[in-house]
Structure 1
Amino acid sequence: MWISRRVNTEALPGRRVVVEFRYHGERPLWAWLVLEPGDISVCLHDPCLPVDLTVRGHPRDLYRVYSGRSTLAAEISAERIELDGLPAMRRAFPSWMAWSPFAPAMRQAVVSVDQMPEAHGG
Structure 2
Amino acid sequence: MKAYGQFCPLAQATQLLCERWTLLIVREFIAGSTRYSELQKGVPLMSPTLLSTRLKQLVKAGVITMKSESGKNHYELTKAGIELKPVVELLGAWGHRWAQTNLDEGDLDAGLLMWDMRRSVDPAVFPQNRIVVQFEYPDAPKGAHDWWLISEDGIIDLCLSDPGYEVDILIKSSLADMTAVWTCQRPFKQAVECGDIKVMGDKKLASNLQDWLKSSLLSRLGSLEELPKLNWVV
TM class by shorter chain equals 0.7 to 0.9
Of all paired residues, the percent bearing the same amino acid is 25
Q: Partner letter of residue 85 of structure 1?
A: G
Which structure has the greater CA radius of gyration? 2
Distance 2:172 2:224 in 1: 23
CA contact (8 A) 1:33 1:40 kept: yes
Corresponding residue of 1:14: 128
Which aligned runs of 4 or more in structure 1 are off by greater than 6 angstroms?
Answer: none
- Structure 2 gap segments, 5+ residues each: 1-113, 226-234
How big is the shift at 1:107?
7.6
Residue 172 (structure 2) aligns with: 56
Aligned to 2:181: 65
| Structure 2 CA distance for aligned equivalents of residues 14 and 26 of structure 1 | 31
Q: 1:49 deviation in Å? A: 0.5
Question: CA offset at residue 26 of structure 1?
Answer: 4.6
Counting matched residue pairs gives 109
The answer on 1:103 being equivalent to 2:220 is yes
Note the alpha carbon deviations across 1:46-103, whole angstroms, 9 max, x for none: 1111100001001221111111111111111221100001210210111111312233
Q: Which has the higher helix share?
A: 2
Unaligned stretches of 5+ in structure 1? 109-122
Identify the structure with bigger relative contact order (alpha carbons < 8 Å, sequence gap 6+): 1
Deviates more, 1:41-50 or 1:96-105: 96-105
TM-score normalised to the size of structure 2?
Answer: 0.43
Q: Decide whether aligned partners of structure 1 residues 44 and 62 sit closer, same or farther in structure 2, where only a CA change above 3 A counts.
A: same
TM-score (norm 1): 0.79
